[in-house]
């Protein structure tokens, strides 16, 4: 998967490729989809959510430009697969999930794999998690109709947020850097994510 689906495309970060190679994706995939664990496509999980395709996980992680010292806020724990990749590359990951059952299941898997730098919490992802703010990096694994103001407020100056923006019909993955308290947006790729739902967003 790493060589054929990621390195052969535009995933050039050695640390990201190495991290994805270390994370056993099959541990995060429902039993009925085990045969497709390393296929380059999204797969359904509980609560009508998805585990993102490996390429999208790699692209989003690469765009965060992690060095190993960062505090990361993840919005949408889901299966916990993206969380594990982040935990390989960051100092601390706070992961917010609105479905308590998904958060509990992901926490169990992550602990079984030995990750100790992840703090899973249940809450409204559109509001972020102010208790641990500010964050050096923020990653949002659901599509927002607009940039959620509370999340941008919790991003440290100079930090990067990677987020899908758009509605159900048209989404763009963006890297948003905070410069002089303003967002500077770089478009990365077209994408398709489940909608970000919460007090600051409604499905598009």
User: Which of the 8 DSSP states describes residue 99?
Assistant: -
Distance CA 134, CA 8 (A): 35
Domain-located, residue 202: no
Give the total number of structural domains in the chain: 1
For the record, the structure tokens of 159 come out as: 């930090």
Q: Which of 60, 24, 30 is nearest to 43 (CA)?
A: 30
More confident position, 165 or 203: 165
| Mean pLDDT, residues 69-84 taken together | 98
Please say if 52 is a catalytic residue: yes
Reduced to 3 states (helix: H, G, I; strand: E, B; else coil), residue 4 is helix
The per-residue pLDDT for 204 is 45
The per-residue pLDDT for 8 is 61
Domain-located, residue 102: yes
Domain-located, residue 196: no
Domain of residue 70 covers 2-191
| Mean pLDDT, residues 187-202 taken together | 88
Statement: residue 68 has pLDDT above 50: yes
| Percent of the chain clearing pLDDT 90 (strictly above) | 88
Domain-located, residue 203: no
Domain-located, residue 73: yes
- Say if CB 127 and CB 199 are below 8 A apart: yes
| Mean pLDDT, residues 1-27 taken together | 85
CATH number at residue 41: 3.40.50.150
Catalytic, out of 15, 18, 37, 52: 52
Domain-located, residue 100: yes
Q: What is the pTM of this model?
A: 0.94
The per-residue pLDDT for 87 is 98
What's the pLDDT tens digit per position in 100-126? 999 999 999 999 999 999 999 999 999
What's the pLDDT tens digit per position in 134-186? 999 999 999 999 999 999 999 999 999 999 999 988 999 999 999 999 999 99
Domain-located, residue 42: yes
Domain-located, residue 182: yes
């Amino acid at each position: 998967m790493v060589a054929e689906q990621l390195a052969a495309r535009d995933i050039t970060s050695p640390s990201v490729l190495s991290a994805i190679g270390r994370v056993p994706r099959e541990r995060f995939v429902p039993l009925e989809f085990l045969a497709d664990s390393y296929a380059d496509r999204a797969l359904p999980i509980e609560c009508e959510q998805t585990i993102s395709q490996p390429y999208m996980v790699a692209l989003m992680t690469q765009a965060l430009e992690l060095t190993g010292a960062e505090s990361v806020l993840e919005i949408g724990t889901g299966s916990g697969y993206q969380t594990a990749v982040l935990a390989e590359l960051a100092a601390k990951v706070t992961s917010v999930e609105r479905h308590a059952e998904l958060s509990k299941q992901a926490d169990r898997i992550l602990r079984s794999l030995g990750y100790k730098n992840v703090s899973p919490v249940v809450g409204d992802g559109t509001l972020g998690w102010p208790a641990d703010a500010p964050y050096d990096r923020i990653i949002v694994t659901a599509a927002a109709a607009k940039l959620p103001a509370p999340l941008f407020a919790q991003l440290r100056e100079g930090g990067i947020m990677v987020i899908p923006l758009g509605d159900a019909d048209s989404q763009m993955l963006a890297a948003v850097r905070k410069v002089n308290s303003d967002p500077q947006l770089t478009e990365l790729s077209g994408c398709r994510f489940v909608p970000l739902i919460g007090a600051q967003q409604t499905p598009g």
